[in-house]
Structure 1
Amino acid sequence: MAYVKRSWSKENFSCSFCLGVFSSPVSTPCGHNFCRTCINKFWDGQVQYKCPVCNRMFHTRPDLQVNNLLSGMAAQFRTSVLIKKQRCVEPGEVPCDICTGTQLKAVKSCLVCFTSYCQTHLEPHQRFAHLKKHRLVEPMDRLEDRMCRKHNQLLELFCKTDQVCVCQFCTEGDHRSHPVVPLKEVYKVKMAQLGKLEAEVPQMIQERKLKIKEIKDTVEMSKEDANRERADGVQVLTALKRRVKKCRDDFNQTVKEKLKTTEKQAEDLIKELEQEIEDLTNRNLEVKQLSQTKDPLHFLQAFRSLKDPPPTHWTTVEVRPPSYIGTLRRSLDQLEETLNMEMKKQRDAELKRVQQYEVDVTLDPDTAHPQLILSEDGKQVHDDDEDEKKNLRGNPKRFTEYVYILTRQSFSSGRFYFEVQVKYKTGWCLGVARESINRKGEIIETPENGYWTLYYDKDGLVFNDDPDVRLPLRAELQKVGVFVDYDEGVVSFYEVEARVHIYSATGCTFSEPLYPILNPFLDEEGINSAPPDHLTC
């Protein structure tokens, strides 16, 4: 095949008549080249035949033959120019499946060949008769996926019933009675939905970024809380450790001093006895010597100077071992006093921490037992006289058998705290309950049934469970605080005025909203109606 120099321009392959690239180029006897059609049209109107370029005259009309070499070179040049004019494929466009090396943009796709063609490679489909019968469509990628596998037809419709793409033949078969619409129609609707989603996605991303920041901030806050708690704990425990060490040292010192006193007493007594033994030994020697004296004068004079023996009281003298009874107890009492002081500080600190989660709650009249009366502000509740009992049992939210009442507010996460005034009450029950508790008929107040409550009457204080947990009364009950950590599963009760922790239920599982719950108990012949005769939130 002829080779076309890359440096040649269009002028080298242009006809001087039409100024286009040669089409079926022919050469005159003088060596000039023209398109066959162009030179024939020029000579058809002439009497004499001459070359339009050099004006050489010919006696007869030349019999022109196609210049095959120039024709091939012109065709090759035409193709190279056409290729240069075509754009290379860009992202999102369909590439030509035939191009090798640099792929050009496809201008048509053939549904018979399942191939996409650029303008150059599409030429056979425009020239050959059997290829002209092929169905050409706008460029499409993944042509095989666009064809119906059953009918081998283009998927141009959308079945609303089955939400699938179908071809025209599918609407005459399995989808005969189904509503179908053109793909472009569904495409517009879905694109509108996608546009809405596209607008919402940045918002969703931002929300999630804010949530990530919130989580990270929570972790940092937790770290700070943990470090602060650890520092406080280490400080307290170190102080207690020093106090225990001092208590141990004081105890050892007390025992040591008692032992030292006893040892000193024994040592002094032994020295005194040893001195008396020495004196008695010397006197005994003097007595022996005097007993051998024969001279009465000397004997009497010596006898007068003889010392009297020490009194014999040593049989009653003894060294008693020290008594250590109560020594350790007194040391432990001192330690207990220190611990109690520290415990009081910690109880105060703990109560202050939970009180920061205090919430404002009001009682819900729709849940109140018919025999209960609420104050106008919804903060107080007490029982009504039996004669004035209201018929309010129709409300499904209302307690009908037990004199309970819930608050309007519920809590489904985090922490919350509320206080109830119980001073002067001889009986009551309070705490939290889940939303789905039984409000009709018999009620069993246990965590399993959705109740986490503290119960008080003449028999004492109890956390309702199975079995019940009886609790010591460490202080007069005046105001009870209830703290709930929903996520940690903790319910704690406090005596607020005495700053005393009463009880904590741990390991609880909460899966629905929790409501504060109260039961003021009935007025039993005035026993439970001393002022104030109500529970106050």
Structure 2
Amino acid sequence: MAAGRSLPCDDEFLCAICLDVLCQPASTPCGHNYCKACITGYWDSRGLAHCPICKEVFAGRPQLQVNTKFRDMLEHFKSMRAAAAADEIPVGPGEVPCDICVGPKLKAQKTCLACLASYCEGHLEPHLRVAGLRKHKLSEPVSNLEDRVCGRHDKMLELFCEPDQVCICFMCLKDDHVAHQAVPLEQAHREKTAELRAATSGLKMMEKVKSSSVKDIKGSMQRSKVESDSDVSSINAFFSALAASLKCRQAELIQAIQEKQEAAEAEAAGRVAVLEQEVAGLRRRRSKMEQLLQTKDHLRLLRRWPSLQMPAHSEDLFAPEPERLSDNGPQFYAGIVRDAVARMEKAVNNEMELLFHEVRLSGSCEALKHATAAEDPIEDLIFRSMPKPEEHLRMIQRQHAVDVRMSKCDFSPGFVVSEDGTRLSFLEDVRFCLPEVPNGESQPPVVLATEGYSSGRFYYEVQVRGLDNFWVGVVNPAVSKKGRWILASYMNSWGCFDASHLKKLSLKRKPEKVGVFVDCDTREVCFYDVDAKTLIYSIAGCRFNGESLVDFFTRLMTSDDSNHRPKLYPVFSIFGSHSSSELVITPVSPGP
């Protein structure tokens, strides 16, 4: 405050000896003031009475008295300085300090844009009182004044260049921005503030939308978690029931083995008892015979001989040993169980892989997609991390690949099958003509695989690079032409057909390697482009044995299906191509 600057100077009330505010002030004959204790001690240490300031020597040691009036003035000065100090505001963190204050900095109240300095309330007083300084432009306190000065002209930045979107000084209008439209900083500030308000309003709306989406997503996730917990609980119950069923069947199997063992032991015990009785009778008869052999009385031996003769059924005693008891030890049953468990484990693993695949492909994020449908398209990338289509093919390759070989005994004349059964080509200078439409009466010569499949799933791959005309698929030889499911290429025209339908295909790229997948249980045949990892075509509801679906399910419900399952054989054919054309069965490689 201004009153703080009207206080007397502190130097007027300082002792020249202790350099502190006078205490019990005493005046020397020359008119200088000192603390009474300070001047007395000074004279005692010097042995000479003189003034420390003016060096005037006194004839005798003056009798000093406390200047009571001056002391009262000091007390009044101290009280005024305490009151002024209470009104001063020290600068705090992040506040602009006064550039004039020496020692503890006070908080600046204004910044002079002409002086390029900030002033506290006391040091600002001349700018409010002096006429020349009152013309200076004052602003709210600002820091880093050097950033507000043009580095080229050393002038305050007071204009805003709209074309270049930079702050400039008046001198810049005559140099680099001579033809540019410039407005005062205040006007530019108002315009930018309006733009910021509009942007802020838009951000608030976006924030509201995002917050609503967050709420919807959290709600969806909460519901999903409840459903997931319910699913997990049900799955645990299913697997617990399966484990309990297996445990029960295990107990039944062990009980059956133990009962069989007990029956075998009982049968063995009965046989042992009979044989032991027979051995005892034979031992007694042999003893009597040995005693009779030792007698020398001829008459006695001849008389007793009829009673010791072997009975009529004695020949049974030397007959072959009766059939031995079953020697099916623990290792016999363990081997059977081990093989059965291995088959069950393989089947369970296959089913689990299918389950994992279906879970990964399930639309668990659909609710999230709907919740964020109103947001920017960029945010849709969050939901594009769904499993890739090639995962299904990779799973099939890992789980169901089989080793297929062409039969070297059952193929049409004119074909050549390699020794390992993996390559099919023409005899030299032999080519087959193009076949008629697949539904017609004729078909090209074909080569079957050595092994057929009647259940489960199997998959194999064939390289067709460079072939314009070929057949690949599966057939049921027992159903003649009605039992074929083929992917065919006719002069770069593609088709897929079964017994009664032809589906013309339009492919974006010509496959160089074809994968064939057959599910005998679901009656489905699929053809894949292995290199592109895409599905070419799928045939569902195949009549592998020529019967209808109704007949198929009726037979499943009324009889044993194992004796009626047809055998499907991989089939291959090339025709109408160059004599050097070759179809190759390749090993299945799932890749990473």
Q: What TM-score, normalized to structure 2?
A: 0.40
Structure with bigger helix share is: 2
Question: Please, what TM-score do these two structures have when normalized by structure 1?
Answer: 0.43
